[in-house]
């Protein structure tokens, strides 16, 4: 627990900012996401005309009930953190918001696809892009190296000079999160998305490619937030001078806030841009080809995500015991 | 740059891919030294077996259109013979013309169609 009372109101400010961002995310997921491709689609699955006057209203209700439940759980967790004063759980909570929303969306999306999208339209003529996808076009190798160096340095600092108050689950959860996101981002580049419609392939390709880059950008930004928290934790517990210097704590909080705000902006600006780009286009996975079934997210990526998510949930539950 | 494949086309998929790459080379959209996606990427995107793409690439490699360069993947090459024996070229042309005649087209229609196709290839090359 951070003992500096000077930093307490800063943490309250951080909480306020997180809640504001969370409210915006709630609006995005609750209202915009299911209909982002227009009324001809539900979560990217093609639906018949008049769907939202019938069964669609029930589907929308179920989806929104799920998102509401997720947010109620998150709100209760936040209240518990604030009352108990376990401020260090705040970054974990902020991370949990993103992960839990993604898990809810992926889980409900897969369920809806199995029920509603079982017989999607089949196109016999399809286009495929001949552009090569190389990891170096999506990742900054120096950036990744710096991130790895910060993680290693943080661990070394904690192992060699960590004080008695080090809770080893905190750096373990953070490192696990960053590693998982790294492999998920690589998977996002490597996975093959369905072919493009032969009609307007250029526009579809630009949209699909931007979605891929958005996913990688979002995961990298998320990694940086977690790495910043890990490094701050290591400095606070491994370098007594930092813990005793108010301005140093302010600086760390400021850095984390700035990186986190960057991630929030990436989410909202990128998401809005993607929605605008995809207007009038057919989402990948809303139609099938004779060579390949319609799929939202490839199975391999999903399996890895759920395994990582289960591990993360187990670690968090164990660490807040 | 895109390849279009059609499940209703009578040609096998690997042949459609090989023909599509050749058409892009002929139109100038694919130029010497340009890299093509890996077999794994193309097979993953299209949702077909790796072998389907590998066979297409192998055929293009044997015909001198592609070369596997270490570290750069599969690239377009100009190692193919610049002048192919006329008789080798005549055979598929004759076969195609026979199909058009059997399809009930007269000579002027066939010539017009050939001109249109040639214009299309040159147009693609110029618009790159």
Q: What is the mean pLDDT of chain B?
A: 85
Check if the beta carbon of residue A196 is closer than 8 Å to that of residue A127: yes
Measured between beta carbons, the chain B residues lying within 8 angstroms of A129 are 1-2, 37, 45
As to burial, measured by CB atoms within 10 angstroms (0-12 exposed, 13-18 middle, 19+ buried), residue A139 is middle
Instruction: Say which DSSP state B75 is in.
Output: E
pLDDT at A68 over 70: yes
Measured between beta carbons, the chain B residues lying within 8 angstroms of A131 are 1, 37
Q: State what percent of residues in chain A have pLDDT above 70.
A: 94
Residues 6+ apart with CB under 8 A from A266: A214, A217, A218, A221
The candidate with the shortest Cα–Cα distance to B60, out of B96, B36, B43, is: B36
Measured between beta carbons, the chain B residues lying within 8 angstroms of A138 are none
Whether this model's ipTM surpasses 0.90 comes out as: no
Check A133 against B73: CB less than 8 A apart: no
Does A202 reach chain B within 8 Å, measured CB to CB? yes
Q: What confidence tens digit (pLDDT) does each residue in A151-183 have?
A: 999 999 999 998 888 888 889 989 999 999 999
What average pLDDT does this structure show over A132-141? 89
Closest residue of chain A to B49, computed from CA coordinates: A291
B94-126: string of b/e by CB count within 10 Å (b at 16+)?
eeeeeeeeeeeeeeeeeeeeeeeeeeeeeeeee
pLDDT at A54: 86
């Amino acid at each position: 627990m951070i003992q500096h009372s000077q930093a307490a109101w800063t943490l309250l400010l951080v909480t306020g900012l997180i809640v504001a961002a969370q409210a915006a995310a709630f609006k995005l997921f609750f209202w915009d996401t299911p209909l982002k491709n227009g009324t001809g689609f539900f979560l990217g699955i093609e639906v018949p005309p008049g769907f939202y006057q019938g069964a669609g209203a029930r589907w929308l209700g179920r989806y929104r009930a799920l998102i509401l439940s997720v947010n109620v759980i998150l709100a209760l967790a936040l209240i518990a953190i604030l009352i108990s004063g376990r401020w260090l759980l705040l970054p974990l909570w902020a991370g949990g918001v993103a992960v839990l929303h993604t898990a809810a969306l992926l889980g409900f999306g897969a369920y809806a696809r199995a029920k509603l999208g079982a017989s999607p339209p089949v196109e016999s003529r399809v286009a495929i892009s001949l552009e090569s996808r190389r990891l170096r076009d999506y990742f900054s190798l120096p950036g990744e190296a710096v991130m790895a160096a910060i993680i290693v340095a943080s661990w070394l600092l904690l192992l060699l000079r960590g004080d008695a108050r080090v809770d080893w689950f905190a750096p373990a959860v953070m490192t696990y999160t960053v590693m998982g996101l790294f492999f998920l981002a690589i998977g996002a580049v490597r996975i093959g998305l369905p072919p493009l419609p032969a009609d307007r392939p250029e526009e579809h390709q630009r949209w699909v490619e931007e979605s891929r880059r958005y996913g990688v950008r979002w995961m990298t930004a998320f990694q940086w937030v977690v790495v910043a928290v890990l490094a701050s934790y290591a400095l606070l517990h491994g370098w007594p001078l930092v813990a005793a210097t108010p301005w140093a704590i302010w600086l760390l909080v400021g850095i984390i806030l700035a990186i986190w705000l960057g991630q929030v902006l990436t989410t909202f600006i990128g998401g809005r841009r993607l929605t605008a780009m995809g207007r009038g286009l057919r989402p990948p996975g809303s139609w099938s080809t004779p060579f390949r079934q319609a799929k939202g997210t490839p199975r391999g990526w999903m399996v890895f995500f759920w395994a990582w998510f289960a591990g993360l949930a187990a670690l968090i539950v164990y660490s807040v015991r | 740059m895109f390849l279009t494949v059609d499940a209703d086309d009578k040609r096998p998929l690997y042949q459609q891919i090989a023909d599509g790459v050749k058409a892009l080379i002929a139109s100038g959209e694919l130029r010497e030294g340009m890299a093509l996606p890996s077999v794994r990427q193309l097979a993953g995107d299209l949702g077909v077996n790796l072998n389907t793409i590998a066979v297409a690439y192998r055929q293009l490699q044997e015909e001198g259109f592609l070369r596997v360069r270490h570290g750069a993947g599969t690239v377009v090459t100009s190692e193919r013979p610049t002048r192919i024996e006329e008789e080798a070229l005549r055979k598929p042309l004759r076969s195609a013309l026979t199909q058009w005649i059997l399809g009930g087209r007269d000579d002027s229609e066939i010539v017009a169609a050939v001109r249109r196709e040639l214009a299309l290839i040159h147009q693609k090359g110029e618009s790159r």
